[in-house]
């Protein structure tokens, strides 16, 4: 399967949010990535339910919602009702991860689990057969525009081996510091979904950047 590209709305111009979303609609992007932050699990605050609902009303791309929040199980139904089609929670934020993954699927969304840079891939060994995707953070979560952490390549290869050994169909997504230089290396290492924020939205020609990421 060709890899997917999911521009991250966190790096968009919030004063021109509708224009930015419509630009993504015209692009070769596959998903629209939304980072949801609560100021507790990560040191930043981003989108709430009303914003997600408005984004959903004009986005022609599936909403890939990444919950960087504490106790995400409390809000699964609300995020799904707001328009999330993919919901990813953090291993580090879930006391009962299996229950949370089942709740996401029961709500009718694809279920993902994310790891912070310091968390080893082996943490996913007991859940890998139950998820639709795995998200490796390649920067410390909370802010856009950070430098890519090089050890991510090794973690991707380890995760691919884990997925194959388990007979899982889980996709691998990477978020943080993705650019035109490292995107081909990430795909070669085994990434299925590239999340790119600053690289896309700080460009003078976002449509071309997305095209290049899609065909790298």
* pLDDT tens digits, one per residue of 7-50: 999 999 999 999 999 999 999 999 999 999 999 999 899 999 99
pTM for the whole structure: 0.96
pLDDT tens track for 169-197: 999 999 999 999 999 999 999 999 999 99
Show me where the domains of the chain are located: 4-214
Mean pLDDT of 40-63: 95
Residue 1 has pLDDT above 90, yes or no: no
Give the single-character DSSP code of 2: P
Which residue numbers are catalytic? Answer: 35, 175
pLDDT tens track for 77-133: 999 999 999 999 999 999 999 999 999 999 999 999 999 999 999 999 999 999 999
CATH number of 4-214, picked from 3.20.20.70, 3.40.228.10, 3.40.50.970, 2.130.10.10: 3.20.20.70
Residue 140 has pLDDT above 90, yes or no: no
Q: 142 pLDDT band (50/70/90 cuts)?
A: low
Report CA dihedral (203, 36, 65, 214) to the nearest 10 degrees. Answer: 20
Q: Give whole-number Cα distances, 154 to 37, 38, 59, 185, 197, in Å.
A: 27, 30, 34, 11, 22
Residue 141 has pLDDT above 80, yes or no: no
pLDDT tens track for 145-176: 668 999 999 999 999 999 999 999 999 999 99
> Rounded to the nearest 5 degrees, what angle is found at the Cα of 195, between the Cα atoms of 189 and 197?
135
For the chain, how many residues are written?
216
């Amino acid at each position: 399967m060709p890899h997917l590209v999911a521009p991250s709305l966190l790096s968009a111009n919030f004063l021109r949010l509708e224009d930015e979303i419509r630009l993504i609609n015209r692009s070769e992007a596959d998903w629209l990535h939304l980072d949801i932050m609560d100021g507790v699990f990560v040191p930043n605050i981003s989108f709430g339910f009303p914003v997600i609902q408005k984004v959903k009303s004009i986005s022609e791309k599936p909403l890939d919602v990444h919950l960087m929040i504490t106790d995400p199980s409390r809000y699964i139904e609300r995020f799904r009702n707001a328009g999330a089609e993919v919901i990813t929670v953090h291993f580090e934020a879930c006391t009962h991860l299996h229950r949370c993954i089942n709740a996401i699927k029961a709500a009718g969304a694809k279920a993902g689990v994310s790891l912070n840079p310091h968390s080893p891939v082996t943490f996913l060994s007991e859940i890998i057969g139950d998820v639709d995707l795995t998200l490796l953070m390649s920067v410390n979560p909370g802010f856009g525009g950070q430098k890519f952490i090089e050890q991510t390549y090794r973690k991707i290869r380890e995760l691919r081996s884990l997925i194959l050994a388990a007979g899982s169909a889980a996709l691998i997504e990477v978020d943080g510091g993705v650019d035109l230089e490292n995107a081909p290396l990430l795909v070669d290492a085994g990434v299925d979904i590239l999340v790119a924020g600053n690289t896309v939205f700080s460009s003078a020609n976002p449509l071309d950047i997305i095209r290049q990421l899609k065909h790298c």
